[in-house]
Amino acid sequence: MIKIKNLKKFYDNRLILNIPELILETGKIYSLIGRNGAGKSTLLNILAGILTSDEGKIEIDMNEVILCSQEPMFFKGSVAYNLIEPFKLRDEKIEISKIREFLKIFGISELETSLISTLSGGEKAKVQFIRTVLYNKKIAFLDEPTASLDKKSTALVEDIIVKMKNEGKLILIITHDYEQALRISDAIFEIDEGNILEKRGIYVKKN
């Protein structure tokens, strides 16, 4: 569960976020929508501990958080290196068979030994999403994970996100694809003028 209370974030005296209260429960998918520059990534980065807020309180288990950022971040090296090294650094084991399984699912098995720098934008997004899933954290923040993906890959990502939810995970996803939000979300929030508003009623998915 995540609890946010009286969160405020300013950039150069400009109030970007102003959220009196927000509670997110485990085992649910929440979509965050809003115009460019509304503050969506800022909120996700604050929740993931990458940025600090100026005011307010957040209750969250930081050990259980993984962020799939809007701008992918990679080590210099191959796809395999980027999927193995983060876990090595944390003394965690990752099965190469598991990595290969995901590469196959996304149709990029042949890129296993390719340098990340040679990948297309969509291929990079796939590798970053695979890495996020491999972390197997209870809370996943996904910042526009399908923005550069084709239709088939987008559907794969949506299937995996729903599976994560069914495993009891909390997923907060930023998207500009309203249809996608309708397809997968338990609730849809919009950031507007810094505040976060729940789009209730017909927008909330019925199980």
Ligand X SMILES: Nc1ncnc2c1ncn2[C@@H]1O[C@H](COP(=O)(O)OP(=O)(O)OP(=O)(O)O)[C@@H](O)[C@H]1O
Judged by CB under 6 A, the chain residues 47 through 106 that form the site for ligand X are: 70
- Where on the chain is the footprint of Mg ion (CB under 5 A)? 41, 70
CA-to-CA distance for 138 and 165, rounded, in angstroms? 9
Can you tell me which of 29, 38, 67, 125 binds ligand X, judged by CB under 6 A?
Answer: 38
Residue 2 contact partner, candidates Mg ion, ligand X, none, CB within 5 to 8 A by sort of partner: none
**Beta carbon of residue 39, minimum distance to ligand X (angstroms, whole number):** 4
CA-to-CA distance for 181 and 169, rounded, in angstroms? 17
Can you tell me which of 24, 33, 40, 46 binds ligand X, judged by CB under 6 A?
Answer: 40
Neighbours of 129 (CB within 10 A): 24
**Beta carbon of residue 131, minimum distance to ligand X (angstroms, whole number):** 20
Can you tell me which of 2, 18, 29, 42 binds ligand X, judged by CB under 6 A?
Answer: 42
Nearest in space to 161 (alpha carbons), one of 153, 150, 171, 151: 171
* Residue whose CB is less far from Mg ion, 42 or 78: 42
CA-to-CA distance for 70 and 141, rounded, in angstroms? 10
CA-to-CA distance for 8 and 69, rounded, in angstroms? 21
Site for ligand X, rule CB under 6 A: 11-12, 16, 34, 36-42, 70
